[in-house]
Structure 1
Amino acid sequence: MKALMLAAGLGRRLFGDENTELPKALLKFGGQTLIERHIQCLLDCGIDELTLIVGHRSEDLLAEVSRVAPAGFVRSTYNPRYRQGPKHSLAMGEDVLRGGDDVLFMDADVLYHPGLLQTLVGAAPANCFVIDRVFQSTDDFVKVCINDGLIVDFGKSLGDGYDIVGEWPGFLKIAPDVANRVADSVLGFIARGEDEGAYEDAFCEVMKTSPAGTFGYEDITGTPWVELDYNSDLEKAATKIMPLIDGLRD
């Protein structure tokens, strides 16, 4: 299994449109950067390789990668269109998506207990979301909607009327055939000039055009995690999530 992580963005919601701050993957918690935590978790899960899509202040991020990652474990790809939205970053991972391996997709701006990733990697479904039934975010988050045990919708701004609605932390595992279709989907969006908006559109399109049951899910409710989009998330990470992560490790 190979990992594909998007870490190219400006972090507009946290730092503004003219951000000159370091990438969010270099935020530190408990003396470690997020990227260092990611890499350690991936190594512990037996992942073969991480492809890191970089853009904003890529030199700083890659310097940290060189410091913390074993030689040859991380491969970087620069997205020259990182200011144009995350679909371009997902498209830059085309070679991974078409590489014939299982793919672990990850957002870079998430602080989490290692058990979250271990649960996903070890899950039985070949194509698997993780969900949290207790919403951790207050605005602009992605939902996974389930009826009769099957995922029926995925994205933002979804309605009610589902058996289960969970928040998606930004991690997904997909089999080679589905990964190839994700590449087709995101490149199709870009070719049609629909490159604005969330990269989740590609995952949703593939999910909705797949036979029922193609995608499964693992419920990680109770596992500490937070996506770092706003200043309130940074405060939550430092005061609530890190103590929980440290407590579970003890």
Structure 2
Amino acid sequence: MKCIILAAGLGRRLGQDLPKCLLKFNGKTLLERHIDNLLAGGIDEVLIVVGYQAQAIHDEIKVLGAETQVKTVYNRDYEQGSVLSLWYAREYLSCGEDILLMDADVMYHPHILERLIKTDVFNCFLLDRDFEMGEEPVKLCVRENVLVEFRKQLDANLTYDFAGESVGFFKFNGEGAHHLTLKIEEYVKTQRHTEPYEEAIRDLLLQSPKDFGYEDITGLAWLEIDFPQDIQRAQLQILPKIGELQNKLT
């Protein structure tokens, strides 16, 4: 199993002059935390899609001594949307093996990643039911235990049993990853490359909902870091929760 981490974006809403994956919490960058968790989970082939301040990420990989396990690919069009990050990673994505796909700007309890690595679900989302409805969360909607929507904005007529927030981590089997590669190619050819990459995944989900499933990670601490206030929340709330949960689970 291989892993693709998307880390090319500018992170304009955060207002900091560095890639979000290089934010430090208790002396460790988000990138270091990702790599530690992936290696602990048995994943030793990681591709990071870089763009904005790519050299800074290369320098961090070197400092961590992770050059053997971690490679990068440069998205020179990183200002044009996340679909292109997957386009630049297409050879890795279509390698035929199981693939983890991760946003780089998430702080999370290691058991969340462990659940995704060990799941029996072929094409898997992570779902957290403990969230507040609003415009920002990317929502996963479930009806009769089948995923029926994956989007920020929900149709008012959509019926579902419950909803959860997507963590931004996914697992695809070889076939699912190949289909995603083809869908990304379609987006690029039809000039839809400025759309979020999640839209391409959504297309596949709605085409074949029974090919997808989810792991419910409600109760495990995590946070996507998008805004300045998220940095403080990560430091003051999420890290202590991760520590508390680790103490209970060990």
TM-score normalised by structure 2 residue count? 0.94
- For 1:182, which of 177, 180, 183 is the aligned residue? 180
2-side partners of 1:196 and 1:134: how far apart? 30
Aligned position for 1:207: 205
Indicate the SS of the match to 1:119.
Answer: helix
Q: Answer yes or no: is 1:79 the counterpart of 2:97.
A: no
Indicate the SS of the match to 1:170.
Answer: strand
Aligned position for 2:238: 241
2-side partners of 1:164 and 1:84: how far apart? 34
Indicate the SS of the match to 1:41.
Answer: helix
Deviation at 1:41, TM superposition (A): 0.3
1-side partners of 2:206 and 2:159: how far apart? 18
Indicate the SS of the match to 1:13.
Answer: helix
Range that drifts further, 231-240 or 216-225: 231-240
Structure 1 contact 4–104 (Cα < 8 Å) conserved: yes
Structure 2 contact 135–153 (Cα < 8 Å) conserved: no
Q: Answer yes or no: is 1:96 the counterpart of 2:92.
A: yes
CA offsets, 1:106-159, max 9 Å, x none?
000000010100011111111111100011685422111110001111111014
Aligned position for 1:146: 142
Q: Answer yes or no: is 1:232 the counterpart of 2:229.
A: yes
| Matched AA of 1:224 | A
Deviation at 1:71, TM superposition (A): 3.7
| Matched AA of 1:178 | G
| Matched AA of 1:246 | G
- For 1:106, which of 98, 102, 106 is the aligned residue? 102
Query: Structure 1 stretches of 5 or more lacking a match?
Result: none
Deviation at 1:25, TM superposition (A): 0.3
**CA RMSD, Structure 1 to Structure 2 (Å):** 1.4
Deviation at 1:86, TM superposition (A): 0.8
2-side partners of 1:45 and 1:136: how far apart? 30
Deviation at 1:87, TM superposition (A): 0.8
Aligned position for 2:52: 56
User: How many residues are matched?
Assistant: 245
Aligned position for 1:12: 12
Structure 2 contact 135–152 (Cα < 8 Å) conserved: no
Indicate the SS of the match to 2:245.
Answer: helix
Structure 1 contact 82–89 (Cα < 8 Å) conserved: yes
CA offsets, 1:41-71, max 9 Å, x none?
0001101300000000010111101121434
TM-score normalised by structure 1 residue count? 0.94
Structure 1 contact 137–226 (Cα < 8 Å) conserved: no
2-side partners of 1:139 and 1:169: how far apart? 15
Indicate the SS of the match to 2:167.
Answer: coil
| Matched AA of 2:107 | L
Aligned position for 1:166: 164
2-side partners of 1:136 and 1:230: how far apart? 16
2-side partners of 1:80 and 1:148: how far apart? 43
2-side partners of 1:25 and 1:69: how far apart? 17
Aligned position for 1:3: 3
CA offsets, 1:3-53, max 9 Å, x none?
0010000001212xxx6x110000011210000000000001101300000
2-side partners of 1:92 and 1:158: how far apart? 30
Aligned position for 1:194: 192
Indicate the SS of the match to 1:194.
Answer: coil
